[in-house]
Each structure stands twice: as structure tokens, then as C-alpha cells.
Structure 1
């Protein structure tokens, strides 16, 4: 292979946006880079002010020319397999491609300038043909703009005429990337040096010159020349295949439907596939032979059937293929007709993968498969309408395909959105188009706001207009419509008795940042709302249209009046049943006391989702200084007798904030003792119901075991004997690894591996490392890779960090999560932060975390991100860090006193 080139500007930007910084000291999850777009009609085009266009002052293409069809020829020249044999000359591997493209376009308004996108391509002199009279036109010049626009500008000698039909032919060549962008190469075996290459996401301009904007949809016909013995896949079925000599193969694909340029996909590999009546699922041959794609193929058929019946619409492609790739930067990408996945998001390994892994696979498939490619947004500022819809609809699809997963009303997205949207540096769902122009600004829109808040607002809207009206509104959408039609459709389909209108209801939720906290006084019946912010001193005039669903101890009811808000003596009131509304709720002290009493005496009288949300609201209201911090801590008392997953998950996530804030102070000791006491009954509950080889069938219990409330509260929940027991298990593992694998249930392996490495030394760590390197099971590798970050030995963590610089040790797509795992280890926080700063220029895609003592360093770190998509994330980290510093100073004494009082008689 050629020597690795330096990181390009596009790669630096793409990776930098993935640094969406953690809030309150937690590491943020990677943003899935997925893109969909809308159809364009001539009547939607804006007026161009002049007949001869100068370079536009903004980053958008002028609308003087509209593409209709592309013919693309590509020739990747790399060897997909290099077998070193005696007395055989090994060919030099080449990572270059060449090709040509013809784009047929219509002139909407006369111009001498053709603007399109091209990035890091060597382009030949263009040939422009007047298709109306088959005349070749004179070209004065062509130049690549040396700025962030990526414009290729072609100047003509004469004007292209209004309503004229033209074609542009360009030859080009480029380099196949080793950094997971555009056309890239991925090594997937160690013995024969097998490779796969793939093109995805916002990279069409790196593959061929094109009008690479969302509304510039066109038909694409792709022809690729590739090595014999490999198979090429794209969005559509193969139209023809020819053998060219002894080395090459020619594959032409059928034309695509009208679609956006960066939905174009191509893979070339020696993969095999599993077939079902509805789809083909590709993966490495050994994964296919082992049956690891069987579950994905089966569940895809169920999900596809659900969507077709739900939308009363057939999938937009004649063929559906899915492929599990060894290297992929996003978790998955919904390229129309050829959906690409990281292996861990598609391969299910019976006896190795946990039940939660199966849930992840189902959810990701449902997200990528939904019909968003058929009705899409107009510009990136409205990306939430695609990704928010995909997230929301995936709940329904998974609930249909796997009812036992019980995730229709999932809390993870609600809390992810709440966390990010409580900052002044958040952004509205529908940002002004002029605020989303550069590549960095576009990438910055792919975050928890667009995905998670988008889903929650849609969920709230479905509750407001009622599910049937919501579904009817979606069903009547035609594939040629854009999301601009959604509000009118839903308004027409809404419940006729609903007031205000859908447009009135939704406007503030989509055009301004944040969400409200609703404060209810159950003595007077008064209610008010204000913008919820962690920075309680910040002012805001924002308001939201709200709809309430409440319950009292005896009845469930829906009301818009305030009379029901006055509780009778001794009764409590609970608002926002099942958290269908996107807002937090605060109460007067008397009602809080009654709710907490109910949780401790008979929690089943409060709906499960609300038990979790009461904990989350209490902790976050305390972080925002709207309630006393002791109220939040009191909300955890009932957990000692709680066995349901959601309340524990909510408590763990919020207590992790306390652990991070106080893990270096005298608060940590009594806090650890209290948490150990609280989790004791739950630990015994699990112990009595299951051992390492037997796990109950109930999936909700599986979630608890897999997520591990017993094993997520740091060491506080583990007795010394338990840790030693797990170390003993791991030492047996060293002696008889393959035998013992079958005695450790798949749902418990991640926990056991982590605890064993944490309790072990160099021998245990290096054994786990060797097993990580040698394992071919994706799920097993992920569990071992995470476990390696659990060691308490700083020198081993430093070694592990250094391994992330070597893609032969840690795959590039796994670098971010590996550093995040290390940063979540108290012993690795400072190491990871220093490592990120030291290697920022080489690896700008690392996530950062903000402990209370890192504020000044974060402000300096901001200077590295001002020109890319991580800038807002860095500002959010700075804002939250400043809030954290003040919060710790104000609450340290009260928190210490509470934990000392609660644990005074425990030891």
C-alpha cells in the first residue's frame, strides 16, 4: 500500500463533528452521519437575479442549472486480494481510481457559468454539449475554488440558454481513501489481505463531479470496472456483466430513481450473502457460513412488511440489499437499496451476542429502513424531519417486529434530548437556512436535537392529534412531496376538536431552542412554565403550547383545565403521564413529599415510565438549582426495593454525574457506601433468580441484567468477595478460555470481563488483549475492547491509548469509543484528556469530556474547533463545565451531609 497521506480537510471536519462533547463530565455518543434529501420541481426554484452569475456569496449552488441524469464510469484499480506465494511476484497495491461522468442538465436561467462540486479530484478539461442541436460548445476555463465551497467553476464563451438541454462530460481520477471517507478501502482478514471498498454519506463530490446538494436530485446510472472474483453492489440491480480479459469485470447497474447524489452507494468485495424473500444480507464469508446474518435477514423482512402496511406504500427500490462492513464511520447509512452497517449493528452471533445486542440490531435496521428516502427535507436545516421521523417510527416498527423488546416508548432519546437542549448553546429543530451553510454547520445538525428531540416532539404531536390522525397524515404523503407539506397534512388530518391547530402547537417547539419546566402548585392550582436551563441565571422569554395528561392516586384523566390540579388532603398529583410531553415537571414541596412517599411505600401506583422520570426530573431540577439537592437524593431511597429496569437506569445515569463531580472529594466514601446499600437488594434479587448459566426468559429482566444496574455503579455496588470471585473466573478463563465461554451467559460477559480486568494486573490485561486480537466474533471483540479500558493500571491505559494510533490494532471507526471507554474510567480521565490534546492534529475525531477542573483548557480547546462542526459541541462543553464548577461549590456541603446522615448506621 502507498504511504498514508495526511488527513484531508473534509476528514478533519467530519471527524471533528464527532467530538460532540459530553455534558457534565460524561462522554457523548457519536453522531450517526446519515443523510436524506428531497425532490425538486421547476416551480420550487428561486429566481436568479442576473443572466451571468459570479461566484455566489454563500455556500449554496446557484439554481440556474438543474441536473436530471448522470452516467458514471468508475475504475478502482486496487487488488481486492493479495496472496503471497513462493516464486510469485506480488503486484504493487494501488489505491487510485479513475473514471468519467456525463451529467445531463437543464438550464433554468441563462448563464455563462456552470457551478458544481468536486473535491480532491484531478479533473480533465470539460466538454459541454448543447443537446438540442448536438453542438459542442466552447469552454473558456475551468477552475477549482480554493475555499470551503468545493465549487468547480466552468466558464463558457457564450450563455447557456434558458430552457436549453445540455450535457457536461468530465474525466477524473482520485485516491481511494484509507480514512473511511468516500471510496475507501477496508482490510478484513489477516491472512489473504482481503479488502472491501465502499462509498457512503456526504462524499459524492469526492467520487465524481456533481451537483452535490439536497434538492439537486437526479437519476444515476453507474458502471464499474473491478477485479474478477469480486462482486460489485450498488443501489439497484445489475443490468449487465461482462468479463474483460483475465483481470477485470464490467458491471453496469440499472438507473436509480430520482434521488440525491450522496445516497449513491458502491461496494466491491468477495462477500457472501443470506437471502430472504425481501432482501439479501451480505457479510464476510465466515460470518455468513456461521449464520450471523440470519437474524438480520429475518427481522428486516418483518420490519419492511410493517412499513409497507403502515404507509400503504411499497419500498421505493425493486431490490433491497444490506451489507455488514468491517469499517464504517457511522453506525449505519440508509443508502437507498444498499444499506450499509457496521458489523456490530447487523451481525447477531448466537451464544455470544447479548439480548440487548439483538435489540440494538433491530432498532438500527428499523431506523435505516424506514421510508424517509421517498419523502425528504429541502435543506439540512430541516434534517430533523428525516432523522426525527426515522427515530420515532423505529419505535413502532421494533414494537411490531419484536414485541417482547417493549421499547415503543423509549426513554434514552428523551433524556439525550433533555441533556443537550438544556443549554443556551443548543439549536432549534428547524434552524434558519442561513445558519446552516458550511460543511461544519451541516454536520453539526446531526446530533441529539435532530434525532432524539425530533422523535420526542413527533411523539408528543402524535399524542396531541391522536395516533390515527397522525398516521393518516403520514400515509397521504406522496413520494414527490417535501417535508414542507407535513404541517398542512397533519393539520388537515388532526383531531377536529384539538385546539390549538397543529401549526400553532408545533411552531415554538421547532423554531426555538429548549423546552419548558412546568411548575404546579397543588395547593392553589396555579401553573406556570419557563425555559429550563442548567444555567439558572440565564434569562429567556420563550414559551410553549402545552397539553397535559395527569393522574391522581385514584383516577387517570386528561384535562386542559386547572381545577384538577388542586389535590385533596394527603393526595398527590402526577402530570405528564408516560412522559408523552417534551417538558419537565416541578411541584410544590408538599406534592413532592407525597410522590416520594408513594414511591417508597407502593411504587406500582405510579406508572413505570413516570417512576423513572420523577428521578430524572428531581436530579436535573437540582442541577438547575430549582429544587434542593437533597430532594434529588431522596428520590433514590425507593430504589432499594425497585426491580424494574427504567427507574434504575435513570438513577444510575444521574448518579454518574454525582460520582464524576465528587469522585476526588470526601463525598465519595459515604456516597459509595450508600449506593452499595441501595443496590444490595437488587443484587440479591438477580442472584436468587439467575446464575452465570441460567437467565430468565423475560426480556425486561434481560435488559436489567445486560445494562447492569448491579454492575454500573462503579465498584460501589460490588463486595470485595464478588470482585475476587470474578477475578477467579477470569483466571479460569486464562486456563480454559473456550470451555468457560459456554458457562458465562452472554448477557453477563461484558460485566465479568470488565471486573476481572479491573481487579487483575498485566497478565489479565494482556490475555484479554490477545483474545481481542484473535477473535473473529464482532460482539465478543466489542466486549473485550471495552473490558480492556477497565484496568486501574495507568501504564496499561496509556499503552491502550497509544494502540488507538495504529489502525492494525484498533480500527479507525473504533478509536472514538475506545478513548471514551478509557475516559469513563476514573483512572483514565486525565490520561485521555492529555492524549486528546497531544494528538488533536492527527486525530481530531476524539470526544472530549469536561471535568470541573478542565474549564480553562476547554476554552483553549475551542480555538481548534471554530471552523468545523465540533464548535457548538465545544461551546456546550464549556457552558456545562462552568455550570458544574458553580454547582459543586454550592452543593458540596449539603451532599456530603446527606450521605453521611444516610450511612451513619450502615457500617
Structure 2
């Protein structure tokens, strides 16, 4: 029995309720964004005439240049950065950029060492140091490049004077590589002509690849950016264009335009952006604020930026009101890039996106594409205040930025699309999915210690499910009165949050029984979450740390003994509002509308009553809670807390259910059964059961839409897709005939696609799975011709549905050729192939055989490594597969796993749990699917 608390049968209120002035609840959610970064290319540009520097030091020591964090001796104030990216290769075939930079910094403590980040840059002129005070600057004695810690160490003959300011000037050259990090190039073809874009992705530690800088989030400064570029191109940066020479000047016998931008606000290096392209744009002005959407000219001409433009102003205005702080910049530029490893990046005033995250085509893009665009726009615009205006001091508190933005994105999207009821989807999109990660013993707290997050790959690893999809819910009064206003243009740690929240609580009329820090530290400083068990017979309520494999032990101890303050709300049969007491004769349901981050278990009698009400009067239970009951039951069963057959019985009512959320919850959980059993005798009876349940849903949408019309509601459109996808995958003949007919019609006339936009992903996958080389090759041809990014994504994913192993093997090889599959899409394509039962062993063999190449090509800092490792191992459920996974870890230890280190550990833990679960449940599950009761 876990530690908990007792509540009498006739009472029943549990939890901590803070004062009305401010409420804070930490809830961990799931990953929506796979914000990914690439490792820098191993090759350095070595221009003629470059300054020779001493051989890099590699031996560890206690010297400051062997530490991963900058010393606090210097504080940057302003930068002047001039860059000239070449959009044509030089004689050696390299794309390069040249630059010069000066940084003015103040000496905080006297020192004879200047440490500044510089990665893959070659100095073409000896750096110079100038004093801005009354004393002359010390003479530079030597310069050493430390490639491991990515420092340029400038040793001085004398010490800098504390309190004085100095200016460091550098000239350098770097490669404008295609590695998707720092200052890099993106390529695309338009009307058969190759186009090159010079663009940036600085987060988290790649500004140092563009120019020497103090590349830590707390090292804020003002940036003056100047770009040299071809006269036929347009230059963009964080600030507004301040000056552009009308008459071209000559540099190295090349005519260029010089564009100077207004100085930025005080900001962190990771939020910098500068782009040179020949993109087109559309714009509007709202209350003197300039809003622009940039993209390939072809996409702009096709109107693909119109939807983003139409919602941006609404969302910005919403956040101004929500924060009660005006938007702090004079412009809001958003740009869609053909090559971009992240989903989007909140660069202050110049937000960068994947094309699928910003561009929408009314005829081709789906309802899901539209939702993705509006939520990601809202997420990035939320950061313009929470993250950019007020910034974390160090990456261990990333959740403070991303968790909040991941919550309020739903509020912003709801303002732009009020008929969607999109806030309800937080539970499905986020809460349920993060539970799976946070229920592992190898999970981690929201906030780690600073010393645990040091190296670039460790920083990249922080950008995971837990950090992104925790969310903090604050009242508007709290935000507008204290936090943002107090810390604007500055940095914070999470305890600052508690302090300001406590002030709001203290000023309210009621006094909470615990301090904010007492309550919230339990959610932030310890990993995991509780399962709350309610005994309706005795009134006893207990909590314990929920682990999918209870036999595992958390990797780290907790000073709070894995106890949480849990606010509990519940309802009873026929109750109009949630009540706080129990009645003996009625069913009880806790965590109404899933407002708390915990799972709920009941005594057997109450479970039976809930199962009965689902079958007989499901409308008595809110839709969100119908989904919650299913998700809780399946995961409690995986943990061995309740019987697996009880969890399966929560799906019996689906035969008459037409709402999206319960169906999606059931399908998400049944997917685990498919992963465990689609290579066993359980598969056939399971297919029959699921096919029988979905038949009613398929018939419902046939009557409602005849597969020609859209259902009326936002989530109804999603459920229509579910009906088609699952009916086809379980062998429904009417469904199979539909998708084959549509796909054949398209193959006969490639210029006219008869398949409705919402249904394309499901239809493409089903048709390719049922077809052969002819269908696959046609899809590849359409993929190559597609000009809308969302359509390319649908086809790219669908080609992984093929049933022929040789087609999938060929497709895997394509992922190593960026001319076929863009680098940004390589790992997700491999994961899609691994999701196919035929392709999983092929993908596993492929990744093992090519790990060294993949690791070097995509980099130790790439966020996609954790997704890749988890994606290719999620079906593992045998001792043989476990040993292969351990062997893979050991064989590649010398190469490393970068940001996938934790994913390896989690995959081993997950596989171990899968083995136990299959052994204990396979026979029972088979019997139940044969005779479901």
C-alpha cells in the first residue's frame, strides 16, 4: 500500500486549493514538436591566408577552457555582426560565408583570459582588443581554439580591469553547410532552377557557428546585424530593415547589396536569425504592427501563406491581452523554409518554420494540417513574451519556456478557431502521451540541476517530451502584475516563478495550507506522477508513484518520497456539477475533464459500475472522461494494478460510440496490443474484434457523409479518418473497395486527384499496403512532383506502408540520399518504416548497420536521435530483441548516441517491461479476443 491519505465516506475533498489571485498546477504532457537539431559538419573551412592557431587542446583539466560553462568574468553588452553568405559554391565546391564581428563586453572580475564560443569558424585576421575606458587594452599573448568545448581562448599578457568595457574584433570564414544548424543553407528547385537560401537555427548552442559569441542564454546583449547579399535577394533579421544601399557596392569584384537592420532588444544569442533568399511575401498591418509571411515565391503565389497571415494578428492580439504586455517589437515576420530540422523556432521577430508548419493549401491540406499550423503559430508567438522577453537562465529550466508555451498555444489557437473546441484535445494530444514516458523509471524531473546539463548533447537531450509538454497554468492577474513585468529583458530560474506566485497568493483573501514552493517543488523536482486509488466502499484514498513496470526502481531518489499534492474532483451518477463527497450506491468518477496530472484507480465494484454506465448511458460521462477511463484502465493493466481483461472491456461500448476522443484513446492503447501481438496468433482474433467495433463507425460516416462531404465538427473530421483507416486495416471490404477505386482513378489521371484532402493519408497508406511496385512507384513520382509540403509529407509517410520488403529496403536507402529524402525528414521516414510490421526488422538492421554514418551525418546534438531510437525499438518484446538492443548500445559506445542516450536507456527498460507483460498476458488476451465479454 502506497503512502496516502484517508477520507471519510461522507466527506471527500482532497487537495490544495490556492487563493483566487493565482493558481499554479504543473502537468506533464507529451511531445508534439520534435524540435530537432543537427551536429556540425566535421570539416572546417580553411581559407587562404587564415591565421594559424595553436593545436587544439583535448586533455581534460580544471582550466576554464576545459569547462562547459563560461566563467562569469565577462558580460557582453552589444555586438556588431556583418555577414556575407555566398549562395554559389566556390572553386572547391564549398558554400561559405565571410564575417566580421565586434563585441563590446564589460569586465565583471579581473582576468587575463577571454573565453568566447567559436565553433567551425576560421579566423582570417588576428583578433584585436580595444579598451573603451581610460586604460589601454592588454596585449594579446596567444589564441588557442578548443574544439571540444568550442571556445576561442584569448590569453592576455595583463589582466582586464573590473568595471571597464572592451571591444573584441574578429574576422572569420565558415561553411554554409547543409547540416541544418547555425548559419546553414537550404536548397530547393523552382521551375527547374536550383535555389539556395542562407538561413539560421541557433537554438540551443549553434550561434557560435555563425560568429564568435558568448553563447549562453543568460549572456543577453543588443545585436546590430548587417548582411551583404546578391541584389536579387532579400535579407531578413530580427530587427526591421533600417538601411539598404540603393547603389550597389563592389566587394571582392562581386556586386552586393548591404542591408543594415535596426538594433535588437536585449536578447539571448539562441534567438538570433538572419536569412537571405529570393522568397516572396504577403503582409498586413494591424495597429502599426507589420506582419509578414515569407515563403518560396511559388508557394506565396499559390496562396499558401494566406491562412497563417489571417490568424497571426488575432493570436498576437490575444496574447497582448492575456499577458497584459504589448508586443515588444515593431514587426512579426514568419518564414517557411524547405529545410528545417525543428518544427519551428521562436527567433524574436523572425520566426522560422518547416513548410508544413506554416503553409496551407485549401484544396490539398487536411484539417489536421490546419490545426498543426494554428497551434504551432500560437506556440511560437507565445514565446515572444514568455521565453524571449523573459528568458531562462540556463537550459535545465527549459520546461519553464516550453511547458508554458505548449499550454497557451491551445488558448491562442482557440481564439483563432473558436468553433473547434481545441482546448479539449490537450488531453489526447499531450496528457495521455506524456504519461507513457513519465511512467518509466528512467524518466526525469522537470527541472534538473544546472551541473547535470552541461555539454551540447546534454542540452539537446533536455528538449524532450517531459520538458516540452509540462505546462504551467497561471491566472492572467499573476502574469500581468508581476512576473513578466519584473523580469522583462532579463533571465529567470524556476524559483523566481514560485516567489512571484507566492506574492499573488499572499495578497489574496484566503491563505493556503501550504506554500506555493511546497506544492510545486513536488511536481518539478521529482520525476513521475501518482496513481490515486479511490475505494468507494471505505472512502479511503491513497496515492503512489505510478510506474509501468512496478519492479523497476527510479534512477534517482526523491526527497519528497514520491508523494504529490493532488487536487481531486469527482462526480457521481446524475450529478450536475462535480461533488466532493461519496454515496454508497452510485458510481464515482474522479479527475473530471482531466484537470489533474494523475491516473485514477477504483475498487472493483466501482469499475464494474463505470463499465455498465459506459454500455448503457455513456452520455452520463463527459466525453473527455470516456477517453480518460480507457487510457487509465489500459495503463493500470500494463502496470499490473488491474486485470488486462478489465481494460479491454472499456472498449466494448465503442460499437455505438461516434465521438472522436474515446475512439482515439482506444486506438492509441490498442496500438500497444498490435505492437506486442501482430507477429503472434493473437493478431487474427484482435483484428476481428477491432473490425467488428469499427464497423458501426464506418457505417455512421457512410450515412453521414457518403465519403464525399466533410462532417460538421472539427473532431468529427478526425473520427471520419479513423473510421476509414481502421476499417481498411481490419479488412472491411467496402472500405478496401473505396480506397482502391480512388487510388486507381488517380493513377489513371495523375493531374486530377479524386481523394479528399482529409482522407489522403489513410487512403494512400491503405492503397500502397494493398498494392505493389506499381502503386509505390506512382506514389514516389507524385511525391517528387508535389509542390505543397503537406502533400509531400502524406506521400512520404504512406510509402512506408508497403508490404513488399524489397520496396521498404529500397526506401530505407533513400533516407541516406538528401537528394531523395531531405535530411530534415530522414529519421521520421525511418521511424515510419519501423512502424510497419514488415519494415520494423528491416529498419532495425538498417540503423545498426549505418549507425556511425547516421550519427556523424545528423550529429550528436540532433533532437531526432531520441525519436529514432524509440521509434525503431517500440515493438521489441522478446529476450532476443532485448539482447540485440543491449549489444547495439555496447557496440556503439565508442561512437555515442548524442541526444539519444536517455532513449537507449528507456528503450531497454521498455523492452524489459514488454517481455514481462507479453509473458503474463498473451494467453489471457487471446482468449478474450476470441470470446470478448
Q: TM-score, normalised by structure 1?
A: 0.89
Indicate the residue corresponding to 1:404 in structure 2. 419
Alpha-carbon displacement from aligned partner over 1:542-582 (angstroms, at most 9, x marks no partner): 100111111011325567x7xx2x4322x111111111110
Answer with 838-847 or 543-552: which moved more.
838-847
- Which of 676, 694, 699 is equivalent to 2:709? 694
Query: Partners of 1:363 and 1:471 in 2: how far apart?
Result: 23
Indicate the residue corresponding to 2:240 in structure 1. 237
Indicate the residue corresponding to 2:462 in structure 1. 445
SS at match of 1:842: helix
Which 5+ residue runs of structure 2 have no aligned equivalent?
Answer: 1-29, 39-61, 555-560, 856-863
The Cα shift of 1:859 comes to 1.6
Q: Is the 8 A contact 2:266 2:489 kept in 1?
A: no
Indicate the residue corresponding to 1:420 in structure 2. 437
Query: Partners of 2:65 and 2:520 in 1: how far apart?
Result: 34
1:663-674 to 2 correspondence within 5 Å?
663-674=678-689
Q: Does 1:79 align with 2:88?
A: yes
Q: Is the 8 A contact 1:548 1:558 kept in 2?
A: no
The Cα shift of 1:781 comes to 1.2
- Which of 575, 580, 589 is equivalent to 1:555? 575
Query: Partners of 1:783 and 1:606 in 2: how far apart?
Result: 35
Which 5+ residue runs of structure 1 have no aligned equivalent?
Answer: 1-26, 36-52, 81-89
Q: Does 1:703 align with 2:733?
A: no
Answer with 92-101 or 867-876: which moved more.
92-101
Q: Is the 8 A contact 1:862 1:871 kept in 2?
A: no
Distance 1:686 1:867, change over 3 A: closer
Alpha-carbon displacement from aligned partner over 1:383-426 (angstroms, at most 9, x marks no partner): 00000010011111111111122121312111222111001111
Distance 1:422 1:377, change over 3 A: same
1:173-184 to 2 correspondence within 5 Å?
173-184=173-184
Indicate the residue corresponding to 1:852 in structure 2. 877
Indicate the residue corresponding to 1:783 in structure 2. 794
Q: Is the 8 A contact 1:273 1:282 kept in 2?
A: yes
- Which of 510, 521, 536 is equivalent to 1:507? 521
Answer with 247-256 or 863-872: which moved more.
863-872
Query: Partners of 1:737 and 1:56 in 2: how far apart?
Result: 60
Q: Is the 8 A contact 2:336 2:358 kept in 1?
A: yes
The Cα shift of 1:139 comes to 0.7
The Cα shift of 1:697 comes to 2.8
The Cα shift of 1:440 comes to 1.4
Query: Partners of 2:637 and 2:480 in 1: how far apart?
Result: 38
Alpha-carbon displacement from aligned partner over 1:231-255 (angstroms, at most 9, x marks no partner): 1100011121122146211111111
Indicate the residue corresponding to 1:360 in structure 2. 372
Q: Is the 8 A contact 1:34 1:334 kept in 2?
A: no
Q: Is the 8 A contact 2:357 2:372 kept in 1?
A: yes
Alpha-carbon displacement from aligned partner over 1:626-656 (angstroms, at most 9, x marks no partner): 1111111001101111111111111111100
Alpha-carbon displacement from aligned partner over 1:417-452 (angstroms, at most 9, x marks no partner): 211100111111111111111111111111110111
Distance 1:606 1:55, change over 3 A: same
Indicate the residue corresponding to 2:55 in structure 1. none
- Which of 225, 229, 241 is equivalent to 2:228? 225
Q: Is the 8 A contact 2:198 2:277 kept in 1?
A: yes
1:273-672 to 2 correspondence within 5 Å?
273-277=281-285, 278-370=290-382, 371-372=385-386, 373-409=388-424, 410-411=426-427, 412-452=429-469, 454-455=470-471, 458-459=472-473, 462=474, 477-484=486-493, 485-494=496-505, 496-539=510-553, 541-555=561-575, 564=581, 566-569=582-585, 571-672=586-687
SS at match of 1:340: strand
Distance 1:467 1:259, change over 3 A: closer
- Which of 897, 912, 915 is equivalent to 1:885? 915
The Cα shift of 1:480 comes to 3.8
Indicate the residue corresponding to 1:46 in structure 2. none
Q: Is the 8 A contact 2:344 2:353 kept in 1?
A: yes
Q: Does 1:66 align with 2:75?
A: yes
The Cα shift of 1:262 comes to 1.8
Query: Partners of 2:31 and 2:683 in 1: how far apart?
Result: 24
Indicate the residue corresponding to 2:932 in structure 1. 902
Answer with 157-166 or 537-546: which moved more.
537-546
Query: Partners of 2:670 and 2:482 in 1: how far apart?
Result: 41
Indicate the residue corresponding to 1:140 in structure 2. 141
The Cα shift of 1:492 comes to 2.3
Query: Partners of 2:327 and 2:914 in 1: how far apart?
Result: 48
Distance 1:766 1:675, change over 3 A: same
SS at match of 1:856: helix
Answer with 683-692 or 840-849: which moved more.
840-849
The Cα shift of 1:118 comes to 0.7
- List 4+ stretches of structure 1 deviating above 4 A: 27-30, 90-94, 466-478, 556-559
Q: Is the 8 A contact 1:662 1:668 kept in 2?
A: yes
Query: Partners of 2:553 and 2:746 in 1: how far apart?
Result: 57
SS at match of 1:303: helix
Query: Partners of 1:352 and 1:342 in 2: how far apart?
Result: 17
Indicate the residue corresponding to 1:11 in structure 2. none
Query: Partners of 2:532 and 2:307 in 1: how far apart?
Result: 44
Query: Partners of 2:853 and 2:778 in 1: how far apart?
Result: 30
Query: Partners of 1:473 and 1:684 in 2: how far apart?
Result: 55
- Which of 744, 766, 784 is equivalent to 1:755? 766
RMSD: 2.1
Query: Partners of 2:485 and 2:137 in 1: how far apart?
Result: 45
The Cα shift of 1:539 comes to 5.0
SS at match of 2:703: helix
Q: Is the 8 A contact 1:385 1:483 kept in 2?
A: no
SS at match of 1:125: strand
Query: Partners of 1:591 and 1:350 in 2: how far apart?
Result: 48
The Cα shift of 1:478 comes to 4.2
Q: Is the 8 A contact 2:441 2:553 kept in 1?
A: no
Query: Partners of 1:852 and 1:424 in 2: how far apart?
Result: 18
Q: Does 1:267 align with 2:275?
A: yes
Query: Partners of 2:392 and 2:91 in 1: how far apart?
Result: 47
Indicate the residue corresponding to 1:150 in structure 2. 150
The Cα shift of 1:129 comes to 1.1
Distance 1:274 1:750, change over 3 A: same
Alpha-carbon displacement from aligned partner over 1:176-206 (angstroms, at most 9, x marks no partner): 1112121211111161111111011231101
Q: Does 1:720 align with 2:740?
A: no
The Cα shift of 1:318 comes to 1.3
Distance 1:72 1:470, change over 3 A: closer
Query: Partners of 2:295 and 2:628 in 1: how far apart?
Result: 40
Query: Partners of 1:209 and 1:401 in 2: how far apart?
Result: 41
Query: Partners of 2:804 and 2:188 in 1: how far apart?
Result: 31
Query: Partners of 2:764 and 2:283 in 1: how far apart?
Result: 35
Answer with 539-548 or 269-278: which moved more.
539-548
Query: Partners of 1:361 and 1:498 in 2: how far apart?
Result: 40
SS at match of 1:870: helix
The Cα shift of 1:500 comes to 2.6
1:675-686 to 2 correspondence within 5 Å?
675-686=690-701
Query: Partners of 2:917 and 2:85 in 1: how far apart?
Result: 56
Distance 1:129 1:712, change over 3 A: farther
- Which of 895, 905, 908 is equivalent to 1:875? 905
Query: Partners of 1:583 and 1:640 in 2: how far apart?
Result: 28
The Cα shift of 1:881 comes to 0.6
The Cα shift of 1:130 comes to 1.3
Q: Is the 8 A contact 1:311 1:474 kept in 2?
A: no
Distance 1:692 1:710, change over 3 A: closer
Q: Is the 8 A contact 2:31 2:468 kept in 1?
A: no
- What is the aligned residue count? 833
